[in-house]
Amino acid sequence: MSLQGYIQMSLQGHAAVKFVTGRQLASSSGRGWTNMLAERWRHAVGELPSVLPRDTEIAVLLSGSTLVERQGPGLPQSTLGRRGSVWVCPSGIREDFINIRQPVDDCLHIFLPAKPFADCMLQDLEIDPARVTLRYEAVGYDPFIAQIALAISRELSAETSAGRLLMESLSQSLSAYLVHHYSEIALRSKPLGYSGNPMEDRRLSRVMEFIDAHIEQNFTVADLAAVACMSPAHFARSFKATTGRSPHQFVSRMRLELATRMLADRHRSMSDIALSTGFSSQSNFSRAFRDVMGMTPGEYRVSQI
Tell which residue, 262, 162, 251, has the closest CA to residue 210.
251
Burial class (CB in 10 A: 0-12, 13-18, 19+), 266: exposed
Written as one string, the DSSP assignment of 48-60 is E--B--SSEEEEE
CB 304 within 8 A of CB 264: yes
CB 173 within 8 A of CB 240: no
Q: Phi then psi for 110, rounded to 5 degrees?
A: -105, 125
In a shared domain, residues 176 and 218: no
**Does a structural domain hold residue 70?**
yes
**Does a structural domain hold residue 195?**
no
The pLDDT value given to residue 232: 84
Among 152, 182, 212, the domain boundary falls at 182
Q: What is the pLDDT along the chain (305 residues), one digit of tens a residue?
A: 333 443 444 567 888 899 999 999 999 998 888 889 999 999 999 999 998 988 999 999 999 999 999 999 989 999 999 999 999 999 999 999 899 999 999 999 999 987 766 555 555 656 666 667 889 999 999 999 999 999 999 999 999 989 999 999 899 889 888 888 898 776 555 544 445 688 999 999 999 999 999 999 889 898 999 999 988 888 988 999 999 999 999 999 899 999 999 998 988 999 999 999 988 889 989 988 998 889 999 999 988 87
- pLDDT digit string, tens, across residues 212-268: 999 998 898 989 999 999 888 889 889 999 999 999 999 998 999 999 999 989 889
Among 153, 182, 211, the domain boundary falls at 182
In a shared domain, residues 248 and 283: yes
In a shared domain, residues 171 and 235: no
Instruction: Return the number of other C-beta atoms located less than 10 Å from residue 182's C-beta.
Output: 19
**Does a structural domain hold residue 91?**
yes
**Does a structural domain hold residue 192?**
no
Residue 276's domain is classified under what CATH number?
1.10.10.60
**Does a structural domain hold residue 194?**
no
In a shared domain, residues 13 and 61: yes
**Does a structural domain hold residue 190?**
no
**Does a structural domain hold residue 188?**
no
In a shared domain, residues 239 and 126: no
In this prediction the pTM is 0.82
Q: Report the length, in residues, of the chain.
A: 305
* Region at 136 (left for phi over 0; alpha for psi -120 to 50; beta for the rest): beta
Residues 6+ apart with CB under 8 A from 266: 301
**Does a structural domain hold residue 107?**
yes
Domain that residue 209 falls in: 201-303
3-state class of 66 per DSSP? strand
How many domains does the structure of the chain reveal? 2
d(CA 294, CA 157): 19
Q: How many CA atoms, within 13 angstroms, populate the side-chain half-sphere of residue 154?
A: 12
Residue 107's domain is classified under what CATH number?
2.60.120.10
d(CA 244, CA 233): 16
- pLDDT digit string, tens, across residues 130-147: 667 889 999 999 999 999
Residue 51 CA to its chain's centroid (Å): 23
Percentage helix, strand, coil for the chain under 3-state DSSP, each rounded to 5 = 45, 20, 35
